[in-house]
Chains A and B, each alone.
Chain A
Amino acid sequence: MLDTVTAQKVLANAIDLGADFAELFVEKTKTNRVGLIDKKINEMQGGLNFGIGLRLIFGTKVLYGYTNSDHLHELLKMTCILSEKDKKQPQASLLAFNFSPRQDIHPASKTLAKDQYLDEKIAYLMTMDESSRGVSEKIVQFNGNIMQREQAVEIFNTEGLHACDKRHYTRLSALAIAQDGNRQSQCFEGPGGLNGWEFANQHDPIQLATKVGGIALQKLTAGATPVGKMPVIIGNGFGGVIFHEACGHSLETTAVAKKASVFWDKMQRPIANKCVSAFDDGTLENAWGSLNIDDEGMPTQKTQLIKDGILTSFMVDKLGAMKTGYARTGSARRESYRFAPASRMRNTFISPGKYSLEEMIASIDHGIYCSQMGGGSVKPGTGEFNFSAQESYLIKNGKIDRPLKAATLIGSGSDVLQKISMVGNNFAMAAGICGSVSGGVPVTVGQPALKVDDILVGGNA
């Protein structure tokens, strides 16, 4: 995308100005989005993103700029403006580019470069609409979206790295709204993969739409949620968002290097109950959060974060490695050329345990089962988190009693990790977009069902 002569001249200029390290991140992304609402296609759009991000590092200070132009004079101008306050006698040297061909471990066939598959996408959305409304007359609205994206990246740096990758993303979204008199409820599901349009073959539109329609309908009958501390079973799949937010972000060197993490000094020390082991894995084939290479050009890895309750690794990017001394883990990520890379999660999950969901429910006299989690947030400095449950049930005397509405779980990550007493055997994963310092990136969260002995539930009873 960017000719190597231009890249070389820009990076040589950065070295001449005294940068210890310089990197160019070139991106060209095609997008296509098809939306349906009210039984008709209401959105049909696409476009082209193109830009170049330039990162200069002086010591551990990062200077970052981006532009939509690939002209040499524009890139040189940006280099000079960025380094104006920090320029010094050159100390580093520019190594010759050594192009490393990527190993494509996430193959895709129905890519945007070949076709936009618009007829197929429209048929898929129409089938979802019909199926969701078929659940009940009380499903009064259905909103479906299909997003496909093809991101080509090319990375050059002063250490001689020249790497390219092409990432194919597809995400399906289904939202059903149910109404009964004045009561309304909704349910959303959004599976995604690092894959071409063939990803839709793994997700039957009828099943997906029927599921969201069924849950929206059931939520119409949901009653008040109890308030207070109680045992909670966090469901499998998207339930992993709690680990992602409450612990995962605190294991990124972006937070660790600043000591803005409760775990910054806990390496090789117990941070969770012994039954907990956790990974961040960028290599899972075609998973939404996977990569071939990270956004600094390093091949991605499977990183064990916690083993039997012991902290075994952080997620480390180049800057994090420079600041903390830990080895890089292929975890540098950014939303686009508009962001400098930072250490971020990929596919983060807690390994399965031995208990069935039924055994876990049977162990609780009074508590709740959050079968489907919504989003949440965390303060990395303190680990305090909050999460909403999209679908939850009251557990009474070891049995599911009735559906609940509007439940929120709050606590602190380090505390909850110690209070996980049962780990289920029903492992599943789910896709999401994680927003943080380097923008919104695709991530997968995952876990089996987990029983937490004591957590504050915010309800409306």
Chain B
Amino acid sequence: MDPIIEKKLAFVLEYAKKKGATKSEVLFHDNAKFSLKSNDGELEQYSIANSQVWGIRVVKDRKIGLSYSESLEENALTEMVDQALNFTKYSAVDEFQDISIVHADKIISDSAQVYRQDETSLAEKIDFALSLEAAPKKLDSAVVGSPYNGYSDIISKNYIANSEGTICFEKQKVFSCFTSALIEKDGKSAMNWHGNNARTFAELGLDDVVNTSYNLASELLNGEQIKTGHYDIIFSQDQLATLLNIFATLFSGKKAMDGRNPYRDKLGEKIAHQSLTIKDIPLYTAGLGYQLFDSEGCLGQEIALIDRGLLNEFYHNSETANYFKCKNNGHASRTARSALKIASSNLVISLGATSHNELYGGTVLEILETGGVHSGADPISGDFSFAGAGYLWKNGKKIHPVKGVTVSGNFYQMLKNMAGIGDKLYPDIAKRLFAPIIRWSDLTIGGS
């Protein structure tokens, strides 16, 4: 922890108290990001960025006020506090939101877990970035470019302090990369991108990123539509993560509190196939969502969101826990610039017992690429419809690549219609979902 920042945190809390805040909470984020992009065999962009932002949440007369500042001057910090306090004059009385996390000792994240030593040189990073762009072209003369590629690493330092004596500090480092392959052949074109995220540079894995991107683009070049109808579907981990992210409303204590979670009154009810158990595990060491404490400073706790098909628990922060009169399970989410919400950390889906042959038996469409999932999904009704591409499988064999089809269904119904769940965990690119392969029954495919 930087003692200068600690002093400023104390100054802001003291100033807020002096100006009449009943309670206050200060966040400070300090990020250093480095990124590279390549084009035509040369670095096209080289970026360094240092950003810092302060944010405050105050309680006064049981009302909440929020403000933030990117200006680092002392008068900007006092203006930030004054503005937050002014907002409390206009806010409604908030019966449930409070600043209540109390820790007698400082909480400091485990640096061995989230900030690993890495001695990669600048030259190595530049070589890597150039390879991200050049490597797909070397695989095949039909690759006309890798228009979207990039390498980045980010060090983020986050401080939380509140008027109740809590001080938390976390320092994280994450490496990321992605590339794309744009292929043109015989008047047809196809493009696919792939990426990776890791705690160390060495774990990024250039070959896997390049080959995955190229292989799918190459196959989709000859992709074709399949007949319109109802199919069993296997989503790749990345596509499943996207779907779960959109329909995370289902698990949100905040949305339930706000009347926007359609499963608000269904705790304890069967909402999914009995083989489905989904947990959120903040201290899951393989996950990049690893967090010792949440954005209020509450220690992260493992929860089963769905337990053998039953809706078991929502994500809660201190506010939603107060509202539902239940335990705060440490899933608060807030940045210096935003209001108090909830968020997931690492989602882990429990293993099943379906063999690979069974998962890919009969006719099944494997969806490896989607488009427009966010706009084509309605978290309230559960209906979704989006573009998809991947492979058609029959009796355990890949038949042909598929593209230009639509995938439609209802997510909440889909959870009940699981046809099989595999026996091995795979991560998504973001390393925040760890799930076995799951076969879902009877979704609508629009094609030829």
Contact = CB atoms under 8 A, between A and B. Distances in A.
A356 B408 CA distance: 32
B373 to A, nearest CB: 9
Contact of A458 (B70, B381, B407): B407
Nearest to B39: A258
A376 B384 CA distance: 13
B375 interface: yes
Contact of A63 (B46, B53, B377, B410): B46
A120 to B, nearest CB: 11
A387 B372 contact: yes
Which among B64, B374, B385 has the highest number of chain A CB atoms within 10 Å?
A: B385
Contact of A62 (B45, B51, B53, B383): B45
A183 B381 contact: yes
Interface residues of B, number: 77
Interface stretch (B16-24, B83-91, B158-166, B195-203): B83-91
B381 A260 contact: no
B176 to A, nearest CB: 16
Interface stretch (A2-10, A46-54, A393-401, A444-452): A46-54
Contacts of B259: 38, 140-141, 177
A460 B50 contact: no
B interface, over-half SS: strand
Contact of B260 (A42, A177, A182, A255): A177
Contacts of B83: 46-47
Which among B46, B88, B144 has the highest number of chain A CB atoms within 10 Å?
A: B46
A60 B374 CA distance: 35
B68 A228 contact: no
A304 interface: no
Interface string A342-363: 0000000000000000000000
B445 to A, nearest CB: 8
Contacts of A65: 47-49
Contacts of A258: 39, 145, 147
Contacts of B375: 374-377, 387-388
A228 B228 contact: yes
A408 B408 contact: yes
B380 A47 contact: no
A66 interface: yes
Nearest to B382: A184
Contacts of B436: none
A381 B191 contact: yes
A78 interface: yes
B92 interface: yes
B78 interface: no
Interface string B259-275: 11010000000000000
B190 A458 contact: no
Which among A82, A260, A340 has the highest number of chain B CB atoms within 10 Å?
A: A260
A410 B406 contact: yes
A272 B137 CA distance: 31
A184 B190 contact: no
A84 B380 CA distance: 52
B240 interface: no
A interface, over-half SS: strand
B378 A406 contact: yes
Contact of A338 (B44, B51, B68): B51
A410 B371 contact: yes
Nearest to B369: A379
B362 interface: no
Contact of A259 (B49, B145, B376, B387): B145
B66 A50 contact: no
A45 B65 contact: yes
A388 B42 CA distance: 38
Interface in B384-413: 384-387, 404-410
A228 B446 contact: yes
Contacts of B383: 405-406, 460
Interface residues of A, number: 77
Interface string B31-46: 0000000010011111
A338 B260 contact: no
Interface string A139-163: 0110100000000000000000000
Contacts of A375: 372, 374-375
Contact of B380 (A184, A380, A461): A184
Contacts of B80: 47-48
Interface string B106-145: 0000000000000000100010000000000000000011
Interface string B169-192: 000000000001010000001110
A401 to B, nearest CB: 19
Given A177-B260, A228-B446, A49 B376 contact: no
A408 to B, nearest CB: 4
Contacts of B55: 47
Given A122-B90, A385-B371, A458 B406 contact: yes
Contacts of A82: 46, 48
Contacts of A377: 371-372, 375
A210 B339 CA distance: 28
Contacts of A37: 258
A388 B71 CA distance: 40
A81 interface: yes
B354 interface: no
Contacts of A381: 145, 147, 180, 182, 189, 191
B430 to A, nearest CB: 17
B218 interface: no
A51 B51 contact: yes
Interface string A169-189: 000000001000011111000
Given A40-B92, A61-B44, A381-B147, A50 B446 contact: no
B328 interface: no
A41 B92 contact: yes
B228 A410 contact: no
A43 interface: yes
Contacts of A406: 376, 378, 381, 383-385, 408
A410 B387 contact: yes
B390 to A, nearest CB: 14
A458 B408 contact: yes
A456 B380 contact: no
Q: Which 4 A-B pairs have the closest CB atoms?
A: A458-B406, A375-B375, A260-B147, A386-B372
Interface of B: 39, 42-53, 55, 64-72, 76, 79-80, 83-84, 87-88, 90-92, 94, 122, 126, 144-145, 147-148, 180, 182, 189-191, 228, 258-260, 262, 337, 339, 371-372, 374-378, 380-381, 383-387, 404-410, 444-447
22 contacts: A35-B339, A41-B91, A41-B92, A50-B71, A61-B45, A63-B45, A63-B47, A65-B47, A68-B50, A68-B70, A140-B259, A227-B445, A258-B145, A338-B49, A376-B372, A382-B189, A386-B371, A410-B387, A456-B406, A457-B406, A458-B386, A458-B387
Given A61-B45, A186-B381, 11 more contacts: A41-B90, A43-B339, A44-B91, A47-B68, A47-B83, A68-B71, A177-B260, A381-B189, A406-B381, A408-B408, A408-B446
